[in-house]
Structure 1
């Protein structure tokens, strides 16, 4: 069955962040607190996955390897609670397209939309567990005030700044296909983080199913 997913980071004044908090923060916390979430994260931290190009050539009887892949895909996919809030299932008067992303200009937003793929999954696989652990929030979801964005920038820079050799390696592990001119998951988040710090804005990161 096909699906389309999006991961977006949008910039907002602190007043807008405060308005979004009662809707989004409980859902983000619920997804992070799910018993399977921590277990799956810890398993990936202990044993990173092999090159993604080998996944579909694995012996069908290798249940442990497939189990690790499915576990990784499960915790890096959009969370059930955030999905429900963002698509209007929790409250039909609220939708991420209208109430979070509407009116964003190009400089203040990063968005990665893919069919049958999850941007956060590809980013985390490309970075590996150590760098992914530096990123604030939980698997691409967060709601930060301007002060929190400023305080967390050094961690984001450590996670997403690469030497030429490192850059080649992470690009090789990023399995997403990009249209010409489309921004990579390796570039967009840091660009938006730095822009928000310069402008004194907060940030909202959400990963959702669009359909």
Structure 2
């Protein structure tokens, strides 16, 4: 069955962020505190995944040790996707119930501050946050506020977290090349990629005194 996931980062003034907080804060805190969430993160941090091209490689042949190693890598990859796939915040896109007409598409994404161009990663049958987090690794990914690409930050919180974002997304030339190899997304040459869009949004929002909202959901 096909799906399309979307990760958007938009900028807003503090009044807007304050009004949105009751809807988003509990969702983020609850998702982050789930035992399965913590266990998945801790496993990923303790057992970093190898090159993504090896995750579903057939162990082949008659060597049992090789087959068992391939099985372990596949199982760890499935655990990682269970952690980093969109879905925990889908109600922000779908609304909370039949009497709730809230839609992140119109009520958040459609009301972004024009001073900062939104970052959008929309992919069919792929998860952009999963690809980004694999490329960053758990140490860098832990520097990103919120939970798995979903966050809500005031202007002050954007300024305070900017050094951590710069640390997460700063690479030597060699590190950058290695990170790019681990992004399996089909990103068009003219499209802003997941390694560039988030830090650009943070810098611009900090410069303009704006807050940020990140939302990671299925849209189909």
Structure 1 and Structure 2 fold alike (TM over 0.5):
yes
Counterparts of 2:3 and 2:40, CA distance in 1: 23
SS class of match (1:56) = coil
- Answering whether residue 167 of structure 2 is matched by residue 158 of structure 1, we say yes
Paired position in structure 1 for 2:32: 32
Paired position in structure 1 for 2:152: 143
Sort the Cα spacing of 1:124 and 1:58 in 2 relative to 1 into closer, same or farther, 3 A.
farther
Q: How does 1:2-151 map to 2 (within 5 A)?
A: 2-59=2-59, 62-80=70-88, 82-90=89-97, 92-104=100-112, 105=114, 107-151=116-160
Counterparts of 1:14 and 1:154, CA distance in 2: 20
How far did 1:86 drift? 2.4
The Cα RMSD (Å) is 1.6
SS class of match (2:56) = helix
Question: TM-score normalized by structure 2?
Answer: 0.90
How far did 1:89 drift? 4.0
Unpaired stretches in structure 2, ≥5 consecutive residues = 60-66
Alignment coverage as a number of residue pairs? 210
Q: Deviations over 1:11-70 (max 9, x none)?
A: 010000011111111111121121100000000000111111111214376543222111
Question: TM-score normalized by structure 1?
Answer: 0.94
Counterparts of 2:50 and 2:100, CA distance in 1: 41
Larger radius of gyration: 2
Unpaired stretches in structure 1, ≥5 consecutive residues = none
How far did 1:181 drift? 1.0
SS class of match (2:10) = strand
